[in-house]
Amino acid sequence: MFFINPPFGNYVNLPMCMPIKGSFTLYPRQGLIGQIFKTLRYDFNEGVWINKIGLRNPGLTHAINKYKKHKEIISIAIMDPREIKYIYNKIPDNMDIEINVSCPNTEKNMVSKGLGIFLNYERSWCIIKLGPLSSPELIDSYYKQGFRQFHCSNTLPCERGGKSGHVLKPYNEKIIQHIKNNYEDCIVIAGGGIQNYDDIKHYEKMGANHFGFSSVLFHPIKFLKLYLNIIMNS
């Protein structure tokens, strides 16, 4: 399966691709447009996109009201352990979710403990969105909480926010290797630096089960070529 990662998942819906929308927090975080203009930049020296948008979103209630069952996944971000029970009680048991534990662009670290409460048999997807710097011990802790679906990975922290694109590849490779070497029952979504079909094949050889796209959508022609290759090879 192929996923369209945030923020593009909020707007792009294509056959053969599952959009991931969000990330949504318990309460709205205003200022999305302003943060995009202030912080979204392309670094020509490194060939990466950098942003510091910081989870600006209309809030979880908005996501729930708009949710389309079996047609999208809602990314949630928990910024305070006290929010867990409120979010748990708020979201439907059959809502497919991705828990973003790794956004580098917020004033607080994402909550990483006590998340197993969201796992249930009514959800086809209950994914942990890892950061590229996630340690083996941290990944193991999510496994012990019961998680078996991992998305590798979020943006790479830097002084100006988070980097996305090819810079994530070596980090993702280490994470995928750790998961696949230690846990046979895990599903891995590889997302980071996929620019063409060869990148998909590379992650597939490493053991990735599914693939996610984001920064490549900044380049419509490049993404169109990638998407056509997906269609032809499916």
3-state secondary structure 20-54: EEEEECCCCECCHHHHHHHHCEEECCCCEEEECCC
Reported as a pLDDT band with limits 50, 70 and 90, residue 131 is: very high
Asked if 5 and 215 count as a contact pair (C-beta separation under 8 A), the reply is: no
Reported as a pLDDT band with limits 50, 70 and 90, residue 107 is: low
Q: Is the pLDDT of residue 63 over 60?
A: yes
Q: Residue 48 has which token pair?
A: 């990466």
CA atoms within 13 A on the CB side of 1: 15
Q: How far apart are the first and last CA of the chain?
A: 10
| Number of C-beta neighbours around residue 99 at 10 A | 24
All domains of the chain, ordered by start, with CATH?
2-232 (3.20.20.70)
Phi then psi for residue 128, to 5 deg, are: -100, 125
> Which distant-in-sequence residues (6+ apart) come within 8 Å of 191 by Cβ?
3, 5, 151, 152, 153, 172, 211, 212, 213, 214
Reported as a pLDDT band with limits 50, 70 and 90, residue 169 is: very high
Q: Is the pLDDT of residue 149 over 90?
A: yes
Phi then psi for residue 126, to 5 deg, are: -140, 85
